Chain A
């Protein structure tokens, strides 16, 4: 699992793998663990993600819960069509704040 991060006030984490699934969700959780600092403003950029399954979805929900527990916030951006389809399927679009791109997601955080 490769994740690159940019930004200081708002941290954008770009998931560079093409899939988030049962095969790498545990690695993903370990890789993003260090981002959940109290008050952190996070954006997960999913633009390179072409496939997600129920375990990948579970990993993202787990991140959301961890964020809530540590007074951090997570927003998602740049979902490709297949990923969006799974979000629609399980109605996760009601749970996450989702933006078209990272700039919009960053701007959505109050200064």
Chain B
């Protein structure tokens, strides 16, 4: 929260505090729930509305699963790091892995694809929706590569009581 009320009821601006928590999971798809549970613990404690908590869980799950399935080709024994930053009403999550660099053009193309919604005949491609779903439910989604690591950063403004 960036405002407090003084004795005279005057709103006083305070610098925003940034809080960060970091966790790591092994590159196994059955570990991703722990990332979701950790996010829920943090965001529920901040009284973020449950729908917003869910959307952040969904986006982060998709990105972590994507790193495991495509970055590490489903191989266990690697690490996916998740850093959650809370700055006032902004939740920012960095998902970092040590997998080979994803071809930037391909990643960009996948993000810029029109979202493939289901058609009434059920012709919904079964795979490849994760990034698009993630992009839809957060305010921004960026890729970067630094120090030999891939990083996806998700940002979403939330309502904090």
- Seen from chain B, the residues whose Cβ lies within 8 Å of a Cβ on chain A are 28-33, 36, 50-51, 54-55, 57-58, 61-62, 65, 68-69, 115, 117-120, 122, 124, 126-127, 129-130, 133, 136-137
User: B137 contacts which chain A residues (CB < 8 A)?
Assistant: 89
Q: Please tell me which one of the listed residues A23, A57, A95 contacts residue B30 in the complex, with CB atoms under 8 A apart.
A: A23
Q: Are B127 and A94 in contact (CB under 8 A)?
A: no
Q: Taking each of A21, A51, A54, which has the highest tally of chain B beta carbons within 10 Å of its own beta carbon?
A: A54
In the A-B complex, the 6 residue pairs with the closest CB atoms: A58-B126, A54-B129, A23-B30, A22-B65, A91-B117, A23-B29
Residue of A nearest to B126 (CB): A58
**Known A58-B126, A89-B133, A90-B124: A53·B58 in contact at CB below 8 Å:** yes
Main secondary structure of the interface of B (DSSP, over half): helix
Residue of A nearest to B128 (CB): A54
A88 to chain B, nearest CB (A): 10
Q: Are A22 and B69 in contact (CB under 8 A)?
A: yes
Residue of B nearest to A91 (CB): B117
A83 to B50, CA, bound (A): 13
**Known A21-B65, A53-B65: A61·B30 in contact at CB below 8 Å:** no
